[in-house]
Structure 1
Amino acid sequence: MSAVPVGPPPPSPYAAPDVKGVRLRPPVGLAIALTVLFALVIGFDVFAGYADWNTRALMERLLADAAAVSDAELDRGDRLAGRAGMFQGQVTIVTGIVFIIWFHRVRTNAEVFAPGADKLPRGWAIGAWFIPLANLVLPYWIAVSTWTSSTPSGADGHPRRFRLALVNLWWGTFVLAKVLAWYGGRSYAGAETTEDVRSAATTMLAGDVLDIVAAVLAVLFVRRLTAMQHARAAQGPVVAAV
């Protein structure tokens, strides 16, 4: 049998020349890493939620009967809550770092797809997260602009429509979860009575539940935007941008 000639592999859609000094870079690997990290976030949120529920249950028993809860149970509850907070904080920091790297990459790619569409320089995709109060709004604006600029074209040559509902749901849930976690943590640290501890634990539990929802929505957002950019790059984004 004669060997079947094998042609050269198709060129990568990301192996393209610079557009105004900006080069497309694939976000797929970072998106996979984020999927794994957000799964860990969800797992530790469940653990933290259980710790908060346990604290709340202990406080309910104390309010009903002060002699119904032993010092050993209270110590175990404190240790459980401490471990949950430590693990939750560590995985959140690692996930946040990788997310910001991915966020900056997709924002940079969007500048190739639609130069000048975003009024903020691409460096804001990093800096916007560290400005108090402004970090409640600026990353959302960048996400919306990146989402819009990354929309691939359909078979008719017109941009396909990808609704912003996913972006809005993710960001709204994310912000609310962080606000509840911040408020619950401060309330817990300053609690002076059993009722104060119960109230703080309830708030933190609600924050953990919302954080689980936000993590699921974040995975959907990351995977959808990454897929959009991959499809947009395969359509020849550099030529379209120029």
Structure 2
Amino acid sequence: MSSSSDLRPRPLLPGGVPRSSRGLLAAMSALLGVVALSDLFAVFAGARIHTLTDEGHDVATAPQDLDAAYSLYQTAGNVQGTVYLPCAVLFVVWFFRMRRNTGLLAPDRFRRGPGWAIAGWFVPLVNFWMPYRIAVDMWGAGTPLPTDGEPYRTSIWPVNVWWGLFVSSTLFGRYAGSRYEDAESIAEVRVAVMQYMAADVLDVAAAAAAVYFAVRLTAMQRLKATEGPWTAAQKHTSK
């Protein structure tokens, strides 16, 4: 990056709030969709192994089919790993920018600096709750202020659903991975693959919830920045 690009002013919304990048949100949402598709591919590959290792299926008569199923499953895992990394990087970048933008709207809502929107994902153990707390604070910062003496609060269920699904799929996926690596019989492989399939389904749901959370939060932030915190609240209470 050239030094001249660092001197360019960031586009602002009324009130001096940086304009969030719609392109970044769109790219992140698209990558989350690709991640979900890779998970569905893994579910399909896992279902094939599940079928071929069924107790009623004669594996001895179709060893090549089983080898092909294992190869397909390995390919699905490689695809998942390939698409997950850029998606994770882009999501963290969006998360940091949104923390910075919402911090300008309501700095009193945050107990930690914007740097934690990045660092919080990489500190062991802390990464199981720090991003969630930051997301809740961002959600609160994007919420309109009280009007006419009536407190207005937006439900945080999108944050809870996204984080619950994300943590569940991550932990269950790690557990299934350890069971798959330690499997010594076809029956154990079959059970581990079933658990992996469940984790992949949870990950698909987590990706969808992440897109909904990101779109809703971005819309809230832009509305509050352009129309003002009280105007948005008055519109809500007038309905």
Distance in 2 separating the partners of 1:55 and 1:132: 34
Distance in 2 separating the partners of 1:183 and 1:77: 22
Q: Is the aligned partner of 1:79 residue 2:71?
A: yes
Q: Is the aligned partner of 1:180 residue 2:172?
A: yes
- Structure 2 unmatched runs, 5+: 1-10, 230-239
Q: Is the 8 A contact 1:27 1:106 kept in 2?
A: no
Aligned residue runs from structure 1 range 1-242, under 5 A: 14=13, 17=16, 24-60=18-54, 63-64=55-56, 67-152=59-144, 160-236=152-228
**Structure 2 CA distance for partners of 1:42 and 1:72, relative to 1, 3 Å:** same
AA aligned to 2:26 is I
Q: Is the 8 A contact 1:13 1:236 kept in 2?
A: no
Q: CA deviation at 1:28?
A: 2.4
**Structure 2 CA distance for partners of 1:69 and 1:138, relative to 1, 3 Å:** farther
> How well do the aligned residues superpose, as a CA RMSD in angstroms?
2.2
Distance in 2 separating the partners of 1:220 and 1:56: 32
Deviation per residue, 1:60-115 (Å, 9 max, x gap): 1xx34554552211211111111111111111111111100010011111211111
Q: Is the 8 A contact 1:104 1:125 kept in 2?
A: yes
Q: CA deviation at 1:175?
A: 0.7
Distance in 2 separating the partners of 1:26 and 1:143: 16
Distance in 1 separating the partners of 2:226 and 2:150: 15
Q: Is the 8 A contact 1:27 1:226 kept in 2?
A: no
Percent identity among equivalent residues? 38
Q: Is the 8 A contact 2:52 2:59 kept in 1?
A: no
**Structure 2 CA distance for partners of 1:146 and 1:59, relative to 1, 3 Å:** same
**Structure 2 CA distance for partners of 1:69 and 1:197, relative to 1, 3 Å:** farther
Q: Is the 8 A contact 1:45 1:88 kept in 2?
A: yes
AA aligned to 1:51 is A
Q: CA deviation at 1:161?
A: 3.1
Q: CA deviation at 1:34?
A: 1.6
Distance in 2 separating the partners of 1:152 and 1:159: 9
Compute the TM-score of the two structures, normalised by the length of structure 2.
0.84
Distance in 2 separating the partners of 1:192 and 1:92: 28
Distance in 1 separating the partners of 2:45 and 2:59: 21
AA aligned to 1:40 is V
What SS does structure 2 have at the residue aligned with 1:30?
A: helix
AA aligned to 1:123 is G
Compute the TM-score of the two structures, normalised by the length of structure 1.
0.83
Q: Is the 8 A contact 1:184 1:203 kept in 2?
A: yes
**Structure 2 CA distance for partners of 1:153 and 1:159, relative to 1, 3 Å:** farther
Distance in 2 separating the partners of 1:224 and 1:157: 25
What SS does structure 2 have at the residue aligned with 1:130?
A: coil
